[in-house]
Structure formats: structure tokens, C-alpha cells
Chains A and B, each alone.
Chain A
């Protein structure tokens, strides 16, 4: 236990604790300096002013109680603020004042106690350093012997080591017993195959492109050059799995000058007079890629900075994404509204293992 340090003998770093007896732990590649400078032992105690002058101590005593009184005032103030500055429904300013005054009151209540207690301990409580001896962490030889004996007895009396059949079947049973718990978690998700779901979106032949969030259809003539429309499929707002469907079907619609688009042969009829629609879901990890620069025709993902070039069928030109954003083939119907020609021809969003199959 703690002892005052006066008269304690100095010793060097790394001395072994006596408990080890004849078999001290190896020091590895540590160098034991034979000619080490001795530990000078404890320096003399340097008294504080409060130790020397009682009136100084009394002054500090008053200071500590003043801090505690401030704490009481703070806590009372907090209660008063709670009542006196209520939240007026609809008035955000009152929320701010309530938050501020309540917080300041509680802060004073806490800091008063905290600083008071610490100041008390620093100035008025005993200032001596005390010493406590360490003992090696391992048990003494006798204790360890006793522990080994307990295990030996346990083994002997139960026959755990001897009766191998019992031991092996027990271990087997213990290993198998948690498996039902694992199986139980199967129904965290529905029975249907996720891979199939990831392949399909609400888009289909003839589905109108509508504005997000209103769901009103868009005429091709309304999409002027340089425009960007945030698009959802018609009927999404009434769908029961609205968010899940939106998470796959969100589309960005842009109009470029037709001569700016480099269209590959198999996508020749996927745009309508320079109007193109691309999935908004990043092929990296799925953030909405919606930062469209109408002069450079670059799309930027705000989460991980992948960039896609709309003039080159959304090819990745920077950042961690690999695949271009899937393009939605579009055309117009008899009334001039933009419609999809089909669903996306590949799964949208982040890559997954079974994507290709």
C-alpha cells in the first residue's frame, strides 16, 4: 500500500520483481548497463503557499466555495430559463434562446462543481506524492501451484481428459448448438432473390418520364439546350415501395446539341434530338450523381468525385467508379411526351458480384 516516499531507495528501470525467483523473464535484446547512473531518489517536498500560510489557505477555501455557489446559481438559472423562455410553437428564434440559456445554466452548474473540486484538491488537499509498491502481475509461485492443482483436481474428478468420447461429443454439441441462431437470421430479408430485383426498375417501354418530385410528364419541347431535369418514372409517387423504386429509377435528363453527342451505333435511337437520360445512381457506391455542368457536359458525384462525360455516353473520366452510368433509352409518344423505350439494359447502381450473370 501507499507509503510516503521519504527514504525510499532508488533503483533502476527494468528491475525484476522479486516474485520471479530463480527464473526471471528474459530481457530479450535489452542492454543492461553495468555502469548505470543511480536513481537519485525523491526530491525534497516543495511546499505550496497554502501549506505555509493559513490565510492563503482560507482564501482558497473561499474561492472553492464561491465556485460551488456559482454552480448552484447556474443550475437554478437553468431551471428558471426552462420556465421563463419556453419554446413558442412556430418560432425558431425561441428554440435558439431556449437552447442557449438552458445550456449556459447547466454549463455553469457543471463547471462550478468541476473547477471547485479540482481547485480544492490542488490547493488544499495534501500535496505530497505517495509511493505504492508494484508487485509482478503474475501470481506468486504458491498461488500458481494452487491454480494448477485446482485444474488437475477438476480434470481428475470429472474425467474430462480421460473420457474422450464424452469430451468430443460435448465439443461437437457446443459447436453445433449456435447454428440454429444463425439460421434464425435468414428471415432478416424476404425470401425473393435480390439479384433479380437489382436487374429491374420501374422503367419499361412506354413509361413516361416525369418531374421529380411532382410526377408531371415532360414534353421534349420543354427540355431546352443546357437544361437538366431530375426525373422519376410515371406512377412512382403512388407505388407502395416508393423509396426502394426511386433508389433504382432516379434519372437525370439533359439536352445537349446533337452534334456534341458521340453516339455508338447500338445506341443510335436512345436519345431524342440531343435529349439524353442517364441513371442518377453512381456505379461506384450508389450516391446520386447529379452535378451536371452544362458547358463541359461533365457529371460529378459529390460523394467520391467520380466524373462522367455525358458526350461520351457517361464514360468515367475521373475518380473511383469504373462503369459508365447506365443510359435509359428514350423517345416521345404521340402527345410529344418523353417516354422510355425499355427498362435499363443493365443493372443500375453500384457493382455487385452477380452483376454480369
Chain B
């Protein structure tokens, strides 16, 4: 049943016209590009199969959809803030002055067939792009797939996440409508709050006083040239490192740290991944044909005086907007005649520190464990309880900031007061992650114990048997070796013992590492050993 890369012996039939053409074309290309080497190298590379391994592909494919739909939009969009008078199909804006950017976006929406569809595809795909990056990052984090040798790729992925948010925000601002204009106003206010350089930075960004007549054009250059160029380059490196490092796989029978088990690129993975691209594209178009996104015709052109209730950024900027809302009153100082806006600085610091910790996490954990081996087996989240708990705490922290960004809508939809929602979010921002940490750690350790129990004694079958002696027992169904292996094959660490180094000293670094490692591993549950299995079989029922 062996199906290796060796091709099947060809029958001696005359090759068909198609086969002759393929052969000729292959030869033509290879003699000019030596592509055969690449095909040989990559054609039968193995990809492990697990649903969570497809999340990065979702991001990649939505990015391609963004590039395609965005290119269409550039043919019609005018990135200019020159004032024009609207005279298109949307009656409530007829005769209203607006920028060329806004007018051309309205024309794309109402006067170009498929224009609205492409706008909605572009915007929905952008939301899906960043959401899938987020979920992909969570998968990497919770399975420990960021460990050596993939720390650098985690950093590149993180950069992609930031770039994606930048691309999203610049794109959101381009139509120069009321909602995005107020978003830019907030950015302007935040930049001005930066000590010393803030005022000038804002002045340079907007080319004068807010809003100016330059910002849309500048954002456009960032959005369609600079951003995508850096993004595509970083994406290329991200995928190249993926190929070099090969994909991680979950523990399973036959899976080792030295192999990859799965399907080959040619043909199974190519068909699946290629098909999946079309599915993602299709799902985005489906959403775009049924659901409105960013109805700028309702928002109207930007004007510094009006504002809409429920003025929020797109979801991925929400956490920063929520952080702005949660700052308690009065956080602003005067220092020797200068104004220090702590209410903005604090947000920048908290959000900045959070992102830096996310970016550096692989290095932090690597320093604690001191483990310099390569890891290609993805952890089950329960088998790294502290890491999983830290992740849950981080997710809760982010979620509270995120929820705070919709405090007004939460208030109106759940019949609460805005003040109550804000105070609740403030408390939960601090308490929530702590609760999440301890609950998650407990749950993980509990699940590990259950795994251990099942590995040693098998499943409870629900079948009660009366023994000859009158004793009732429940029959346990033993696991087969393959199933048990999934439960017992995981890494085990013990806290670092403090020992003096060669000079007989105990360094601060070592003390810190020892403290961190005992925090990480003191509640560890060791994997079941062979001896334990055997003794449980002997002593068990």
C-alpha cells in the first residue's frame, strides 16, 4: 500500500496531446529556471491536518481577497480632499459639499455596478483578515507553537498583525465620512497628548491644523503602497520560515519531534488549500452581498461639528478606544507650565506594554524554561497550565478593553447605565484577568488529572457488574495504545533549583528564573510512566 513519491510506471501508450504539451512546457521552463529542483523539494512536502492549522490560511486568503477587491476600488477612488458638490443617487446628500474622496466613494457605491459589492467585500474581508490573524495567534500561543525554532516567526507574525491593523485603520479613514473623520479627530487628540513632540507630530501628520486637506492623500499612499509592500514582504518571510521550519503537529501515535505526518502538497494539500481559498473568497462575497458594512451614505461627509451616537472604530482598534474610555477622571498634570496628558499617555503605555509582552512572550518563556531544544509537537493547552492561564488572563484583559469600547451600546441594549458599564469594565479589567488566570489554571490541572486517570484506568464504561463476592464495580474500558499515547506524550518541566555558579555566587538572574519557573511549574502533573500503567493494571480491578 506504499504510495511514495515515485511515480507509477507509465504504460507504454502513446502520450496524448495534452501530455505532450505538458512535457514540452515543463522542459521549456526547467531549462530556463531549473524549476524542477523546487518542485522536487516542495512538491511532496507534508502538511499536518488539523482544523486549527487552517486559521493562518484564512488570514492569507482574506488578504488576497483584500488585494483583489482593493485594486478594483483604486480605479474609481479619488484620494483628494478637494471640495465638490455631490449630485449622485443618494437623495439625502444631493447638493451637499464634500471631499472628492467621499464623493467618489459614494459613486463607487451607487453608480458603478458591483462597486458597492467590491467595497463591502473589501471591508468585510479586512475585518475577517484581522479576526483570523487574532485567532491564528491564539492557536499558536495556546499550543506553544511559538517555541524554538519559531520565535522569530512569531515576531514576524506579530508585525503582520500590527501592519494589518494599520492597514485597516488607514482604509477606514479614506472615505472621509463623518465616522472616520471623528476617528481621525481622536487620533489627532491622542497624538497631541504625547509629551514634547505631540503638537508638532500632529501638525506634520495633518499637514497643518486638523483636519487639513492632506491627510486622505497621505493615508492613501500608506494604505495602498507602503503598508501592502511591507505586509507582502513580511508575509513572504513568514511563509518562507514556515516552509523551512515545517509545520508543528499535535502529539499522536507515530508522531515524533523528528517527523511530520500529514498529506503531501501535491496533490491533496494543494487541492484542499486551493479549494479553501475559493471557499473563503465565496464566504466573504456571500456576506458582502447580504450585509451592509460601513454605510458612509448615512454618516455623511466629515464636518468637525456633528458626531453620531455610537461612534466607534472598527473592531480591531476597539481595545485602544476602550482603554481611552476607562481612564478615571482627572488624570492630567501641569509640570512647570507644560501639560502632561496622563489620560492619554497611560493608554499609550498600557496598550504598548500589552503589545510588547505579546510580542516578546516566546523569549520570556524560553528564558524561564531554559529549554533550547527544538519543539515541533504542539502542546495541548491543558498540558501547559500556567501558559494557558496567562493566555486566558491576557484574553480577558483585551476583552474588557474591547467591551469598554462599546460601553454605550452595552448600556442601551442591556438596560444599564453608561457609568455602571464603565465602572464595571474598570473593575473587571483588573479583577477579570486574575480570576481568569486562577480558574483556567485549575481547569487545566483538573483536565490533566482526568487524563492521567483515564490513561491509567481507562474510561468509565457505565457498565456495573456484580462480583461473585457481592461487590458492585463499574467496568473500566481500557484505552488502546494509540489513544493512550495522545494523553501521555507531553513535555514535563520541574522548577529551577537555585545553585551557585562557578564563582560560588547566586546571581539575580538565577533567582528571578527560579522564582518564575516555580511559578510556572510548581503545580505540574507529570505524564504517566510505563511503570505506573503496569502497576495500575496489576492492582486495578
Direct contact of A and B (CB under 8 A): yes
A53 part of interface (Cβ distance < 8 Å): no
A109 (CB) vs chain B CBs: closest residue:
B282
A350 part of interface (Cβ distance < 8 Å): yes
Chain B nearest CB from A112 CB (Å) reads 8
- Residues of chain B within 8 A of A40, CB atoms compared: 253-254, 481-482, 484-485
**A303 and B199 form a contact (CB under 8 A):** no
**A287 and B307 form a contact (CB under 8 A):** yes
A37's partner among B195, B339, B488 (CB-CB below 8 A) is B488
**A13 and B281 form a contact (CB under 8 A):** no
State whether A87 and B199 are in contact (beta carbons under 8 Å apart), knowing that A17-B374, A137-B244, A357-B337 are contacts in the complex: no
A280-311 Cβ-contact flags toward B at 8 Å (1 or 0): 11101111101100000000101111100000
B155 part of interface (Cβ distance < 8 Å): no
B316 part of interface (Cβ distance < 8 Å): no
**A114 and B278 form a contact (CB under 8 A):** yes
State whether A86 and B5 are in contact (beta carbons under 8 Å apart), knowing that A37-B530, A111-B278 are contacts in the complex: no
Q: How many A-B residue pairs have CB under 8 A?
A: 433
B314-334 Cβ-contact flags toward A at 8 Å (1 or 0): 000000010011111111101
A1 part of interface (Cβ distance < 8 Å): yes
A132 (CB) vs chain B CBs: closest residue:
B46
Chain B nearest CB from A184 CB (Å) reads 12
State whether A244 and B208 are in contact (beta carbons under 8 Å apart), knowing that A285-B189, A305-B325, A305-B408 are contacts in the complex: yes
**B111 and A87 form a contact (CB under 8 A):** yes
A111 (CB) vs chain B CBs: closest residue:
B282
A3 part of interface (Cβ distance < 8 Å): yes
- Size category of the B interface is 35 or more
**B206 and A189 form a contact (CB under 8 A):** yes
A121's partner among B200, B260, B272 (CB-CB below 8 A) is B272
B84 part of interface (Cβ distance < 8 Å): no
A90-113 Cβ-contact flags toward B at 8 Å (1 or 0): 111001001110111011111101
- Residues of chain A within 8 A of B208, CB atoms compared: 189-190, 244
| Stretch in A156-164, A191-199, A270-278, A334-342 with 4+ CB within 8 Å of B | A191-199
A6's partner among B1, B188, B195 (CB-CB below 8 A) is B1
State whether A28 and B209 are in contact (beta carbons under 8 Å apart), knowing that A99-B116, A114-B278, A129-B261 are contacts in the complex: no
Greatest chain A CB density within 10 A among B205, B208, B244, B375 is at B208
| Stretch in A169-177, A253-261, A317-325 with 4+ CB within 8 Å of B | A317-325
**B263 and A129 form a contact (CB under 8 A):** yes
- Residues of chain A within 8 A of B91, CB atoms compared: 90
- Residues of chain B within 8 A of A56, CB atoms compared: none
| Stretch in B21-29, B160-168, B283-291, B439-447 with 4+ CB within 8 Å of A | B283-291
Apart from A114-B275, A131-B259, A302-B310, 12 more pairs, CB < 8 Å: A1-B5, A30-B493, A40-B482, A86-B113, A130-B264, A288-B305, A288-B306, A303-B307, A318-B419, A320-B331, A352-B193, A354-B199
A-B contact pairs, 6 of them (CB 8 A): A42-B261, A110-B278, A114-B279, A115-B275, A131-B260, A285-B188
